Chain A
Amino acid sequence: MADLVRGQRARVVGYGDEVATSTARRLFDLGIAPGAEVAMVRRAPLRDPVIFRVADYEIALRNVESRCIHVELVT
């Protein structure tokens, strides 16, 4: 998810093995669940964090976190 460029849309397929259970649950509660569609909105001036649009709202994630969320591009 960290590799998405601005405007790209993708579908969440799963979390990396390094993601703790509590983190996974929180990502789910935030709407970043497998099957959900995410779109990259914009990067902060210093490249990190990044705003994503997910479950009809916008949320900022650091690259460290978004890197652990696996996505596939939606065309």
Chain B
Amino acid sequence: MTGHHHGGGSVANAAGLRRFAIVGSPNSGKTTLFNALTGLRAKTGNYPGVTVSRFEGTMRVDHQTVVVEDLPGTYSLDPISPDEQIVVDVLDTAHHAEGAETPDALLVLLDATTLRRSLGLLAQLLQTELPICVVLTFTDDLARRHGRLDTAALSRALGVPVVTVANGQRNALSALRGAMSDVDSWSSPVVPPATGTAEVTAWVQSVLTAADYAVPDVDARTRRVDAVLLHPVLGTAVFALTMFAFFQTIFTVAAPLQGYVEQFFGWLGELVAARVPIGWLSAFLSEAVIGGVGGVLVFLPQIMLLFVLIAFLEGTGYMARAAFLMDRLMAPAGLEGRAFVALLSSVACAIPGIMATRSLPSARDRLATIMGAPLVTCSARLPVYILLIGMLFDSGHRIGPFSAQGLVMFALYLFGALSAMTVAAVFKRLTAGSAPALPFYMEMPPYQIPRLHSVAAAVATAASAFLRKVTSIILATTVVLWVLLNLPARDAAEMTRAGVDTSDDAAVAAFVIDHSYAAAVGRAVQPVFEPLGFDWRINIGILSSLAAREVFVATLGQVAAAQNPDDPRDSLSQMRVESGPDAGRVLFDPPTIAALLVFFIYALQCMSTVAVMRRETGSWRWPVTAFVYMFILAWLMAFLARTVVAAIW
């Protein structure tokens, strides 16, 4: 997983500005440097649109704005994976793919502790004849591990400028900033090194000798930590504990924060309801806008916490260990450890998960992982799960030492993960024979203390992407729904004829919703969902959640608020089935909640995922396949869940 940025903003069209590209192998500190240079002004490539996700930011150098682009990590310019291909395309001056602007200068990151390997990539980059400035990272690690390197001699041997940044700390960037302000003075080698294997080996050796390079000791700290974390018994136990703690934290720590957000929007809604004199406008603002957006924004603390944890695991180097431990288990599914990391990223959101599959060299592995990734429990399902689980168990309910809510949530995550693996295995089989097998290799970086700044950047991008989603697709859907739920308008005479007490606001609201366009749509799809125990109110929630899952919560919130504005949650749990053979049954009874939870595990209710699948696979075939198989699976599994829970509850 690239761990860094994902989001929906468009890349700044910065024509005419000087462009720098950061190039380097994975784990060379690229993302850290990128974040340190561009701060939180980074823009990430749009899901649809720009060729491939590109991470760009601007910075001020010497009173001028320049663009910095973070290219995917690569070990070589002989590409074998899609993201390595991107690097080659961007750097190829003769190649003008759509939107691929060739940078004006390269910042080549070399990890000082793995200089021998890193120089091979530099040899290839020198062939591009673009201006190059070498940026040495991890020099503090080199010193700590008793390595030695003469930076000035290295610069002379390479023929290009060399600057040092100690792990991308901001105050360590002045030398780099200085170099970036004066690209024209960058030296270049008289003759770039040849790229044949023997020549490269000889060149690397001569450079290392000239720079008086002494290989650092084995990182004792990493060895000691690995002795525990990769131990057959201890390591497995720590891994399981980490995963469990991961999920428990998301729920226990975020709960009070969510309470505050909820209170704030409750207060805001009341304020608007009290101050806006026009009845329908006041209802629209407090229910559709504040209720809809607020109902989803409640989950911001949880999403941010999730990204903090993922950025932390990534930043320490534990993600690579997790992939190492999981690789053998992924093998029966025909996948590798990195696919596990892509699936784990999907816990945040299927979109970064699907994008993280770019680190998989095999096209077949990618496709299989992409098809499975949307089944992993993403943060958009959280609001729905929390709402539904909250109606199933109250927060004090315990099973053994654990909270019942936490256990159900853990089970949902487990189900999602197992289903994702199964689906990936099936698709891997189905596509057998279409591409050659590629080698598996994975670097194990030394452990590090994650940079606060990198964690903050990852969280900020995630939070802003979520906010954009809330203020665009989610807000639009809730507004449309509000309109559908409240139209056509009914006059008092009609209601009186129907026997509704027009002085009772709740009864009026219930009558309007019951005869709204939305209700008509919800009833029209009733035959499909009736076996699952859903009524038209849930149906309309499900239809609206096809845009984005969180909308389900907002929709039910609107329906409930109309019937009991003071306590929508209570109103939901009191709802009863209005008609049909089950009339009078509590709508959200355990079998129905179980069916809903399971339905949300499997259904592809996310237009952003569909769009990103279309872009990553290059055809509509796969997103359509995913949508159809997931819907069928969702219906069948929900039916099964309903039957089982009804039998045992």
Contacts and interface: CB of A to CB of B under 8 A. Distances in A.
B236 interface: yes
A55 interface: yes
Nearest to A25: B78
Contacts of B442: 49, 59-60
A61 B441 contact: yes
A13 to B, nearest CB: 15
Interface string A2-44: 0000000000000000001011011111110101000000101
A23 B438 contact: yes
A11 to B, nearest CB: 14
Contacts of A56: 113-117, 215-216
A26 B78 contact: yes
Nearest to B440: A62
Contacts of B218: 53
Contacts of B120: 28-29, 31
A54 to B, nearest CB: 8
Contacts of A26: 75-76, 78, 80, 439, 441
Contact of A49 (B78, B197, B324): B324
A47 B216 CA distance: 29
Interface string A40-75: 001011111101010111111110110000000000
Contacts of A30: 75, 117, 441
B324 A51 contact: yes
Given A28-B197, A31-B117, A59-B444, A22 B78 contact: yes
B329 interface: yes
Contacts of B216: 56
- Which among B232, B329, B436, B441 has the greatest number of chain A C-beta atoms within 10 A? B441
A65 to B, nearest CB: 5
A49 B117 CA distance: 21
A57 B76 contact: no
Nearest to B226: A42
B143 to A, nearest CB: 15
Interface in B110-127: 113-117, 120-121
A5 B120 CA distance: 29
B327 A62 contact: yes
A73 B114 CA distance: 23
B328 interface: yes
A62 B330 CA distance: 12
A58 B441 contact: no
Nearest to B324: A60
Interface in B541-593: none
Contact of A57 (B80, B328, B443): B443
Contact of B328 (A31, A49, A53, A65): A49
A30 B216 CA distance: 18
A57 B113 contact: yes
B179 interface: no
Given A51-B444, A53-B218, A20 B327 contact: no
Contacts of A62: 327, 336, 440
A48 B328 contact: yes
Contacts of A31: 116-117, 120
Interface string B335-371: 0110000000000000000000000000000000000
A64 B121 CA distance: 26
B230 interface: yes
Given A30-B117, A44-B230, A60 B327 contact: yes
A57 to B, nearest CB: 4
A60 B80 CA distance: 18
B75 A29 contact: yes
A8 to B, nearest CB: 15
B325 interface: yes
Interface in B381-400: none
Contacts of B329: 46
A49 B114 CA distance: 22
Interface in B585-635: none
- Which among A20, A22, A61 has the greatest number of chain B C-beta atoms within 10 A? A22
Nearest to B232: A45
Interface in B426-441: 436, 438-441
A31 to B, nearest CB: 4
Contacts of B226: 42
Nearest to A60: B442
Interface string B199-215: 00100000000000001
Contacts of A53: 218
A48 B78 contact: no
Contact of A59 (B115, B116, B336, B443): B443
Contacts of B328: 44-49
A45 B75 contact: no
A65 B116 contact: no
Contact of A64 (B116, B235, B337, B440): B440
Q: Which 7 A-B pairs have the closest CB atoms?
A: A46-B328, A29-B76, A45-B232, A58-B444, A31-B117, A57-B114, A55-B117
Interface of A: 20, 22-23, 25-31, 33, 35, 42, 44-49, 51, 53, 55-62, 64-65
11 contacts: A29-B76, A31-B116, A44-B324, A45-B231, A46-B328, A56-B114, A56-B116, A59-B443, A60-B441, A60-B443, A65-B439
